[in-house]
Structure formats: structure tokens, C-alpha cells
A = this chain, B = another copy of it.
Amino acid sequence: MPGSKDSLRLEVADRLHSAAIHLLRYARKRDVLARVGPARLSALSVLVFGGPMALGQLAAAEQVKAPTMSRIVAGLKRSGLARIETDGKDARRIRVTATARGARLLQEARSRRVRLVAEILCGLREEEMDSLLHSAELVELALRRAAGTE
């Protein structure tokens, strides 16, 4: 009976979507302390965890167009959170690198968000936490698979 499996999927998708929206809206509140916008923070995170990369790569990783990323990188540079070098092989390319200050700021912002999210988990039992961890991994896995396919 494929209909019921389909409708379960839709139900799950709906709930996941909704929970993700509400979770991020909640976590967002603490971002103001960083004095850095969400797009810059997110791009910085890619740089810190993924290492230096070209602008186009960064744009692709963030699922954003090149002009948008160009401005984000300009902002990071202006704030001293990232540094731009030229590529030796190809003079059109740039190489964006997180500075030490950028890495530090990212870790702090990230840790603030994570602690805020952690607070709401206080009332949960250990099995429930395990279930959440498992689910988060499932979602990441499913997304990676989907990204590879498309």
C-alpha cells in the first residue's frame, strides 16, 4: 500500500520542516551578539571547517549566487574575519581564508547558539536525546544523498 507510506512521508516532512523553522527562529535570537549577519556567519563556518576556497566554491557550498557571495566575502574582509589572496594558477580566482579572528568569532557565536539550543533540551530524558541525535544524523544523511543526486 504505497499511499499510506507516501502520506507518512508527507506528514514527517511537514513536521520536520515546521520543527526546523521554529528551532532556528529560536536560536536566531542570540545571533545579535555576534554583530555579524547570518549569511556571513554561515559562510565563515564553511571557511573554518572546510578550509580556504575560491569564491565560486563558497557560493556553491552556501547555495547562493556568485554576486551574493562576493558581497558576503567583502563584508567578512571588511570586518577582518576573512582574508583574500590571489590564486597563483589562475589570476581570475580568489582564495578566501578565515582569519584567526574569524575562527575565534565563529566558535563563540556557534557556541552561543548551541548553548541556547541545549538549554531547551534540559527537560528531556537520555533516550529522547539519543533519538534526537539519531534523527539529526538521518536528516543530514538524507540531504547529502539528495544533494548528490540532483
**Given the contacts A120-B145, A138-B128, A138-B131, A115 and B22 also touching, CB distance less than 8 Å:** no
Flag if B20 contacts A133 (CB, 8 Å). Answer: no
Residue in B6, B128, B139 whose beta carbon sits within 8 Å of that of A23 in the complex: B139
**Given the contacts A138-B131, A138-B132, A139-B19, A114 and B14 also touching, CB distance less than 8 Å:** yes
Segment touching B, from A24-32, A72-80, A82-90, A95-103: A24-32
A4-50 residues with Cβ-Cβ distance < 8 A to B are: 5-6, 8-29, 42
Flag if A63 contacts B29 (CB, 8 Å). Answer: yes
Interface of A is mostly: helix
Q: Which residues of B contact A21 (CB under 8 A)?
A: 24, 42
Interface size class of A (residues with CB under 8 A): 35 or more
Residue in B6, B129, B136, B143 whose beta carbon sits within 8 Å of that of A120 in the complex: B143
Interface residues of A (CB under 8 A from B): 5-6, 8-29, 42, 62-63, 110, 113-115, 117-124, 126, 128-129, 131-140, 142-143, 145-147
